[in-house]
Amino acid sequence: MRPVMARMLAALFALSLAIACLALPGKAHANVTCSVTSATIAFGTSSTGTGSIAYSCNSSDIGGDNFTLCGLLGTPGSGTTAAPKMTSGAYSMNFNLYTNSARTTAWTTSTMITGAVTMPASLGGSTVTGSIPFYGTIPGGQAPASGTYNATFSGTILGVVEGGTCNQTYNNILVLVFTGASTSLTASAMVPSNCTVIAGTALSLGAVLATASSVSGNTTIMVNCTLATPYYLGLSPSNNSTTGAGVLTGTGGNTDHPAYQLRSVSTTGPVWGNTATASSVGNGVAGTGTAATQTITAYATLSSANVTPDSYSDTVTVNVNY
C-alpha cells in the first residue's frame, strides 16, 4: 500500500506544479498614452503638398510593444470629404487629400492613414514621437483670387488599428489611452498675385501730310491678372517721360523729332504716363484682374507733322504694377 500512495502523491504534486506554472504572470505589457501634437498640410504656392498627423506616445511600463496608429479624416468646414474647399474671404478653391504618395486613394472619414509604432523596452518607460503622412493636390482648371486660403477638418481621429479598423480603444493585451484623439486638421495654401502683359500691334499713324495736325491712332494692350488683383498700367516713351510725352526718331542723320502724346480713353482723353505704382494709379490706367485676358486701348496724338519727310518711330514700354 505504501508504494502506491507515494506514486499518487507524486502525481498530485506534479499536477499542482503545472497549474501553478500556468497561473504565473507573463510579460508586463505597456500602458501607452498617445496624443496628437499637430495635424496640418501646407501647400504654400504649390499645387501639391505633404501633410502629417504628428503624435507622441508615452509608455509608463516596461514597453517593447508594437502597434499601428491610424487616422480618419474629420468633417470639412466647407465642401465635402471627397471635394473639400479652402476659402479666402468670399473666394474658395478645391483640393483633395490622399492616403498614398501616388495620390490615388482618397483619405476620407472611412479610409484611414496608418503608421507603425514601436515602444522601446525600458524599465523606466519610454516616449516615441513620429508622424503619419498624407498627401494633397489642388486640381488645375481653377482661377482663384490671390490670397491665403485655409480649411479645417473637425473631428479628425487618431486611433489604433485593430481587426482591420481604426479604433480609439485598444484592449488586446496592450492598453492604449488617447488624448486629443479627436482634433482639428488644418490645410492652407497661398495664391500669389500675378500679371502678364502683351502689347498689341504697333500703333501706326500711317502716311501723314506735312500740313496735318492732331494726327492720332490707337492700339491695344492685353493684360491677364489673377482674379481680383488690382493693377495699374503705366506707359513710358523711350525718352522716359513720366507724362507720356514722347518723341519720334527718323532714320539716318535726320535730327527732326516730332512730338506725340499718349492718352487713355480717347484721342482727347487723359494723358497716360508712368507715375503708377503698385498701390496708386497715378496718371496711368487702373484695372482689376479677372483671370482672363483684358484688352485696354492706348491712344497717341501727333500735334504737328511739319518735319522732314521720313519714317519715324519710337518704343513705348508698358509697365504693369500690382
Q: Return the CATH number at 101.
A: 2.60.40
Distances (CA, A) of 10 to 13, 14, 24, 212, 237: 5, 6, 21, 135, 116
What's the one-letter identity of residue 46? S
More confident residue, 214 or 20: 214
Residue 23 in this model has a pLDDT that exceeds 50: no
Examine the domain organization and report whether 201 and 186 are in the same domain: no
Which residue do the cell numbers 486638421 mark?
A: 185
The sheet that has 293-304: what strands, in order across it?
195-199, 213-225, 293-304, 259-264, 245-247
Asked if 42 and 151 count as a contact pair (C-beta separation under 8 A), the reply is no
Rg (alpha carbons) of the chain, rounded to whole number: 38
Examine the domain organization and report whether 200 and 242 are in the same domain: yes
Does residue 17 fall inside a structural domain?
no
Mean confidence (pLDDT) of the chain: 88
Examine the domain organization and report whether 36 and 181 are in the same domain: yes
Examine the domain organization and report whether 134 and 212 are in the same domain: no
The CATH number of the domain where 209 resides is what? 2.60.40.1090
pLDDT tens digits for range 44-84: 999 999 999 999 999 887 767 889 999 999 999 999 888 89
Q: Which of 13-27, 116-130, 141-155 has the lowest mean pLDDT?
A: 13-27
% of the chain surpassing 70 pLDDT: 89
Examine the domain organization and report whether 183 and 234 are in the same domain: no
Number of folded domains that form the chain? 2
Q: What is the pLDDT of residue 30?
A: 55
Residue 120 in this model has a pLDDT that exceeds 60: yes
Examine the domain organization and report whether 110 and 79 are in the same domain: yes
Does residue 54 fall inside a structural domain?
yes
Domain boundary among 191, 216, 244: 191
Asked if 136 and 96 count as a contact pair (C-beta separation under 8 A), the reply is yes
Does residue 16 fall inside a structural domain?
no
Residue 28 in this model has a pLDDT that exceeds 70: no
Does residue 21 fall inside a structural domain?
no
Does residue 15 fall inside a structural domain?
no
> How sure is the predictor about 199, in pLDDT bands with cuts at 50, 70 and 90?
confident
Q: Containing domain of residue 72, as a range?
A: 27-191
Residues with Cβ within 8 Å of 271's Cβ and at least 6 positions away in sequence, in order, are 243, 244, 245, 261, 262, 263, 283
What pTM did the predictor assign? Answer: 0.77
What is the average per-residue pLDDT within 17-44?
A: 64
Asked if 189 and 44 count as a contact pair (C-beta separation under 8 A), the reply is yes
Does residue 14 fall inside a structural domain?
no
Examine the domain organization and report whether 153 and 84 are in the same domain: yes
